[in-house]
Amino acid sequence: MNNKILVTYASRAGSTAGVAEAIGRALSEKGVQVDVLPMRDVKDLEPYRAVVAGSAIRGQKWLPEAMQFMRNYQPELSRKPFASFMVCITLSMANASQYLEGLKSWMSPVRDIVRPVSEGYFAGALDFSKLPFSLNVLAMRFVVLIGVWKQGDHRDWNAIRTWAENLRPLLTD
C-alpha cells in the first residue's frame, strides 16, 4: 500500500490553506510523503494511505465545498485513516477555551460522515482586505469594532505542528 498522505482543505481567504501547508510540512519532516491540495483539485483518493481534511468555518459550519468533498468521498474515507481540522476566528478570542466544547459540535456533520482518528481546532487569520463585501463580513467588522475579535493572524504554528506530529502514528502505523 502507498504510504502517501493527502492533506486537503477548503479555504476562503488563505488562512486554512496556510494551516494545511503547515500540517503537510510537519508530516513530511517526520519522513512521510505528503500532497497538500485544495479539495477542488482532488480527483482520486486511491494513491493515499490516509487523508487529513480541513475547512474554514463560516456560519458555524464547514464550507459547502468541504462538506461536498466529504459526501463524495465517504466510501473511500471510511476505509482509510482520516483526520479532520477546522480553522475558526472564534478560537482567537482571549477566552476561546470556554467555547471549545461548543465549537466541537461544528464538526458533528463531518463525524456523521466519517469518524476522524483526530480532530484539530485552530484559530485563523482575519484580514478584511482578503474578504469580499457581504453582510456577514459587515457583521464581522462590527464584532471587531466592539472588541470581540481582532484583525491579524492568530494561527498558533506550534499547536498546528504539534497536532500534525501527533497525527503521524495515527495515520501511518
Alpha-carbon distance values, 167 to 14, 27, 33, 120, 137 (Å): 23, 8, 14, 10, 34
Architecture of the structural domain at 5-125+155-172: 3-Layer(aba) Sandwich (3.40)
Residue (of 97, 77, 104, 89) closest to 149 by Cα position: 89
For the record, the C-alpha cell of 65 comes out as: 465545498
Domain boundaries, the chain: 5-125+155-172
The answer to which of 31-35, 88-92, 130-134 has the lowest mean pLDDT is 130-134
- Please state the pTM of the whole predicted model: 0.87
pLDDT-based confidence at residue 144 (cuts at 50, 70, 90) = low
Q: Check residue 59 and give left, alpha or beta (phi > 0: left; psi -120 to 50: alpha).
A: left
Residues 1-33 pLDDT 10s:
478 999 999 998 889 999 999 999 999 998 899
The answer to which of 110-119, 124-133, 158-167 has the lowest mean pLDDT is 124-133
